[in-house]
Structure 1
């Protein structure tokens, strides 16, 4: 059964359909298609200049596409109907430094019909002890947590998170991961851009890789990883890195005292040769390529240019 375009757009929290955007001679986006689904996290990955910031800026209505369709819940992203359903945490944000955290939350809540309480926002973002503090007195990581609380305070149906954990320590990052996962579990559609590939691996239901303004790969984390045949072999051995590096199928070797980490196209032949040449070898581990390996291989061959500021 076919659906007309208007029905499809109104069913989706956010979408780009065959979108093009130029800055002078620079083609920032060249026919990009992206869709966000309720209750799912889409990680938008790509090297600097790939078009990630432009895609987010278009979905927020901060810029206009040169061609194609951009919509939030079937509306123009710049419209009031769309913006009242969206929460945003940008990579850079300027907030009044003299206001306290509680005052910022109270002010932002006023823009929404059914916002979360200040106490609930503080709990989710781990800000309970910071409510009386002035924003300008907070550390960079604490300010990022405040920005996340402001992004979720209106109970958004779609959440845009641009490098949300930059500047956070490990504990705060994991707390924010849990909060993002909870928003998605509650039905919120989430668009996540991040340079921390372990973050995408931990949170994303789907990954889209942008390169030079085009989507070059899309799928689940497992599907993206499966596109790369690379294997990681770790072993305690007396064989030298130089010796193993010369073997067929070996892509790279990293040496530590008494141990090697070998990156290879396939594992079986390399492992057999390791054990044959060093019968005393031990602590053997073989792992499939991670998302970071897949990302690097997918984006290695295409040149990228510096992306223009949104």
Structure 2
């Protein structure tokens, strides 16, 4: 059975002068998915969202939202958006602005419900230009969810929010997805993408570098984290010395050059006597570590978090560029 497509990009390209912000992008989003859009600065995230919302037109390829033109879906109220660049009206109260947003939406919710969902009821009478950054973000969220939209697009939605507000925000987004809506969000908080998203898209130089679950993205990075402590001198710094330990092992410190020579090493960080390594073959690296005559304490070997996997993937791709 063919899955229904909420959003479709087919070989989409968009450039600005000599810069190709989106380069042959093809992807499909489906109803009920919560999708994180990741990428370093300049990867094309904002342009991709602009194309999806009909704010820009592609130079080549096609963008469809619910089978039609993006602007048609927006006008019909099927798309709600919360953008970083979205300004808010001054000299009106929160309640007045939200009521206006509801009045303009073809499938509006009651304004009181929208205010409550965004956690704005207690500050409904406050002027918009008197809000904190996090409160202003919640107003943008209220406007994005003022009606029964099928697709919600969020650009850095929790910037400026405190931990409690962020948790409440994502609980609401989970409810939206559980009701069959598609939620697409771009974020620099990779722990949010790891915890919230059903699917992660990684853009790099306008191209789709990776597409999968957070677990699949982490596995694709192909490296694991190794951390341990080494006993050293009084200052705990790697000084090249080693000391025999009572159990016959070798406790001590080594200089960074020795550690960098370990096989399959992809990253190294030495902080005092604590060593953190990323390795493409953790078993071989740990075996070689013991071969140096060292006895690492508090040894831990684990998979990469999404943030480390993201950095590893984009760094590897960047290394391929001329």
Under TM normalisation by the shorter chain, which class is it?
0.7 to 0.9
Cross-structure match for 1:216:
209
Residue 197 in 1 paired to residue 190 in 2? yes
- Structure 2 distance, partners of 1:66, 1:269, is 49
State the shift of 1:154 in Å: 0.8
Q: Quick one: structure 1 residues 97 and 81, their matched pair in 2 at CA, closer, same or farther if it must change by over 3 Å?
A: closer
Aligned match of 1:228: 221
Q: Could you tell me which residue of structure 1 aligns to residue 37 of structure 2?
A: 44
Aligned residue number for residue 239 of structure 2: none
TM-score by length of 1: 0.87
CA contact (8 A) 2:262 2:289 kept: no
8 Å CA contact 2:226–2:301 kept in 1: the answer is yes
What secondary structure does 1:227 align onto?
Answer: helix
Give, in whole Å, the separation in 2 of the partners of 1:271 and 1:141. 45
Residue 308 of structure 1 is matched in structure 2 by none
Alignment of 1:46-61 (within 5 A): 46-61=39-54
Contact kept? 2:107, 2:149, Cα under 8 Å: no
Q: Deviation of residue 51 (structure 1)?
A: 1.4
- Give, in whole Å, the separation in 1 of the partners of 2:92 and 2:209: 44
| 2:74–2:80 Cα contact (<8 Å) kept | no
Name the count of aligned residue pairs: 296
Distance across 2 between alignment mates of 1:99 and 1:176 = 24
In structure 2, the CA distance between the partners of 1:291 and 1:80, relative to structure 1 (3 Å rule), is closer
Go from structure 1 to structure 2 and tell me whether the alpha carbon gap of 1:255 and 1:93 turns closer, same or farther (over 3 Å shift).
same
Q: Which has the higher contact order (CA 8 A, sep 6+)?
A: 1
Deviations 1:85-132 (A, max 9, x none): 110000122111211111111110112244223332233222222111
Paired position in structure 1 for 2:82: 89
Partner of 1:187: 180
Say what the alpha-carbon RMSD is for the aligned residues: 2.4
Q: What pairs with 1:154-169 in structure 2 (closer than 5 Å)?
A: 154-169=147-162
Which of 7, 19, 30 lines up with 2:12 in the alignment?
A: 19
How far does residue 79 in structure 1 lie from its aligned partner after superposition? 2.2
Tell me what 1:287 maps to.
302
Distance of 1:158 and 1:49 partners within structure 2: 25
Larger Rg: 2
